[in-house]
Amino acid sequence: MSDVADLIAAALPFDNLSGATREKLAAVAEAVEFAAGQLVYKAGTVSDDLYIVARGAVRLERMDLGAEAPVITQVGIVRAGEAFGWTALANDAARRNAVVAVGTTTLLRLNGTALVDIVTGDASGGNVSRADIAAAIGTIQTGPISRKETTDGPSRLAFALSQIARWLQSPKPYLMLAGYAALLGFWYLSVDLLKLPRFSEMPGLTTVLHEWLSPNPTYGVSIYTPAYYLHILVSLRRIALAFLFATALGVPIGLLLGWSKTFKDYVFPIFEILRPIPVLAWVPLAIIMLPGSEWPVLYLTFLASFFATALNTMLGVASIDASYVLAAKCLGASRAQVFWHVVIPGALPFIFTGLQISIGVAWFSLVAAEMVSGQFGLGYLINTSYTTVQYPTIVIAMITLGIVGYLTSAGVRLAGHWLTGWRAGQLALDGRR
């Protein structure tokens, strides 16, 4: 029920609905199934219910009565996570265009009167009035709307704070802290306290923390030294450039590999021969081919990231349900229109999965490249600290690398959630979220 409530709240153009209100909306929602081509409602139907597409898609059609015969015109496509039938929230008995299911489709049907009564009765701080609903409907032309665009700063802040509060009420943050505590506890016990075999020569937790947080570090690197931040910034700059290059080339090539059989027949064999070659094997050629010390590092960082991005993008295109392509062609879409409006949106979840993997392997490749050919950077710091027997600095650089890498991966993941919000509806209805 909570997944359905979240899906409904995401589709409605009102922020800050309380959890109780979401559950009330979920309780009055009725799930209805439609087969491909089945009429949801015909043109001219009185607007009583609002619908949310939980899975699949629907096509809005307008009938124009011409001199000789009626002409049916497609108004738009409403996809999973989006809603239609907004005039059901108005007081007048508006009449609607026809709606037809595109492929097997599941809709959530909510009575307009009941929905308005529940939403306007919400006392959580959203304070949605009937005037607000009328204004929201007035901004809707034809087609779907997923969230009200607003410049109301406090409303957005309150919504973000409510999401944080829900996260803190879940077990996730506490399990995460327990995992970190277990790792640090094992480190302290095995090195500092018990001095287990093969661990006794490692820098202990207390030694690393003292060095890391010291204004006058023994080995010259801590949170108080400018050199520490210079290493981080240099690595971040290299990652940003390599990741952008890998995305700019990997995504288009992956789309073409999945979409064009001819292109795949020519390119994929070469792709598969080059992909298994380790990044370190490219080091001599990179140094020979590229000038200076910076370009080889960028090239080696780009390489593994590019293959991860391209391969996942290709798999994303292959995963698209053929019925969507057929439906688009039946509606008269050209090959280019199918590519832009079906293939690219359908592949986005796989693309962002590939980008998360890509940013991770980019850090891996960067450290290897900086150890061999870099000047400054976290990989360079790790390598030079090893050669000069500064073991606490090695651990400091490794932990820093993990934190910065986690933050960059989280940024890519958040961008993916934002651009593929419609995917949440499909997962919720499938019971996978």
pLDDT of residue 162: 63
pLDDT of residue 9: 77
Strands 39-41 and 98-111: antiparallel
**CA-to-CA separations, 414 to 21, 154, 410, 419, in angstroms, rounded:** 26, 21, 6, 9
Are the C-beta atoms of residues 313 and 254 closer than 8 Å to each other?
yes
pLDDT of residue 402: 93
What the chain holds in terms of domains, given with CATH numbers, is 2-148 (2.60.120.10), 204-429 (1.10.3720.10)
pLDDT of residue 15: 59
pLDDT of residue 145: 36
Quote the strand ranges of 7-97, DSSP E: 30-34, 39-41, 49-65, 70-79, 83-84
Residues 163 and 9: their CA atoms lie apart, in Å, by: 13
Residues of the chain with pLDDT under 70: 1-2, 13-16, 47, 62-75, 90-96, 122-163, 373-374, 420-433
pLDDT of residue 136: 55
Are the C-beta atoms of residues 89 and 115 closer than 8 Å to each other?
yes
pLDDT of residue 407: 93
pLDDT of residue 255: 93
